[in-house]
A and B are shown apart, each in its own frame.
Chain A
Amino acid sequence: MTDVLAAFAWLADPAHWSGVDGIPNRLAEHIGYSALTLLIAAVIAIPIGLAIGHTGRFRGLAIGLSGALRAIPTLGLLVYLAVVTLNLSIVPPLIALTILAIPPLLAGAYSGVESVDRRTVDAARAVGMTEFQILTKVELPLSLPLVIGGLRSAALQVIATWTVAAILPVGGLGRYLIDGLALRRYDEMLAGSILVVALALVTDGVFAIVQRLVVPRGVTLGKVADVRTKEPRRSTRATTASATADPAAPSQLT
Chain B
Amino acid sequence: MSWLWSNFDLVWTLTVAHVSLSVFPIIIGFIVSLPIGWLANRYHASRGVVLSVVGILYAIPSLPLFVAMPALIGTKILDPINVVVALSLYALALMVRTAADALGSISGDVLQSATAVGFSSWQRFWKVELPLAGPVLLAGLRVVSVSTVSLLSIGSLIGVTTLGNLFTDGLNRYFTDEVIIGIVAIVIVALVFDTVLVLLGRLLMPWTRADRRSNRTVRRAALKAVSGQ
Contact = CB atoms under 8 A, between A and B. Distances in A.
Our verdict on whether A and B bind, yes or no, reads yes
Interface of A: 1, 3-4, 7, 63, 66-67, 70-77, 79-80, 82-84, 86, 103-104, 107-108, 111, 146, 149-150, 153, 156, 159-160, 163-164, 167-168, 174, 177-178, 181, 186, 189-190, 192-194, 196-197, 200-201, 204, 226-232, 235-236, 239-240, 243-244, 246, 248-254
Interface stretch (B6-14, B117-125, B178-186): B178-186
Interface of B: 41, 44, 47, 51-52, 55-56, 58-65, 67-68, 70-71, 77, 97, 101, 104-105, 107-110, 143, 146-147, 149-151, 153-154, 156-159, 164, 167-168, 170-171, 174-176, 179-180, 182-183, 186-187, 190-191, 220, 222-224, 226-229
Given A3-B71, A75-B154, A107-B228, A196 B64 contact: yes
B228 A72 contact: no
Contacts of B156: 75
Contact of B101 (A197, A239, A251): A239
A83 B187 contact: no
Given A76-B183, A190-B68, A253-B151, A235 B107 contact: yes
A249 B100 CA distance: 13
B168 A167 contact: yes
Contacts of A80: 176, 179-180, 183
A83 B174 contact: yes
B167 A189 contact: no
Contact of A79 (B52, B97, B167): B167
A251 B228 contact: yes
A3 B112 CA distance: 53
B49 to A, nearest CB: 12
Contact of B187 (A72, A108, A156): A72
Nearest to B68: A193
Contact of A251 (B41, B58, B170): B58
A75 B153 contact: yes
A79 B182 CA distance: 11
A111 B154 contact: no
Contacts of B77: 181, 186, 189
By DSSP majority rule, is chain B's interface helix, strand, loop, or mixed?
Answer: helix
Given A76-B179, A201-B56, 19 more contacts: A63-B223, A70-B150, A71-B187, A72-B187, A73-B183, A108-B228, A146-B227, A153-B228, A164-B62, A178-B157, A189-B77, A190-B71, A200-B59, A204-B55, A230-B108, A236-B107, A244-B227, A249-B55, A250-B55
Contact of B62 (A76, A150, A254): A254
Contact of B229 (A84, A168, A189, A249): A249
A58 B149 CA distance: 28
Contacts of B191: 71
B146 A71 contact: yes
B107 A232 contact: yes
B229 A83 contact: no
A107 B227 contact: yes
Contact of B59 (A74, A204, A243, A254): A204
B53 to A, nearest CB: 11
A251 B167 CA distance: 25
Contacts of B167: 73, 75-76, 79
11 contacts: A73-B153, A73-B187, A75-B164, A107-B226, A111-B223, A164-B154, A168-B171, A177-B63, A193-B65, A193-B68, A243-B101
